[in-house]
Amino acid sequence: MMSGHDDETWVEEFAQLWREVLGVDSVDEHDDFFEIGGHSLGALRLATLIQRELGIAVELQQVMDNPRYGDLLAVASRAARGADAAAAAHGAAAPAPTGGHR
């Protein structure tokens, strides 16, 4: 997940995944995945890489529904913040170890 990454590093890693999947040198917020050479298998690869490399749950349908770079970046950012908040809440709600059975 984004934990341990500052925003600039995370955004650069996200952009690198787009460049890798599309085989382009650069992307900007207005680039449309499908207009610059992406296809459905590429979208699946991108979603998989985002999940595996960044630990952010972005599904294929989200790539299909948000093909612009800036839009998908916003979706991924919301997913990452939600997962971080859920992990923090889960950690805070976890009972303290008792150290043994009675």
CB 21, CB 42: distance < 8 Å: yes
Average pLDDT for 5-17: 83
DSSP state letters, 57-85: ---HHHHHH--BHHHHHHHHHHHHHHHHH
Predicted structure pTM score: 0.77
- Angle at the Cα of 98 (from 94 to 101), degrees rounded to 5? 125
Sorted by sequence, the CB contacts under 8 Å of residue 20 that are 6+ apart come out as 49
User: What's the one-letter identity of residue 88?
Assistant: A
Report the C-alpha gap between 73 and 69 in whole angstroms: 6
Tens of pLDDT along 31-84?
999 999 999 999 999 999 999 999 999 999 999 999 999 999 999 999 988 766
pLDDT reading at 7 higher than 80: no
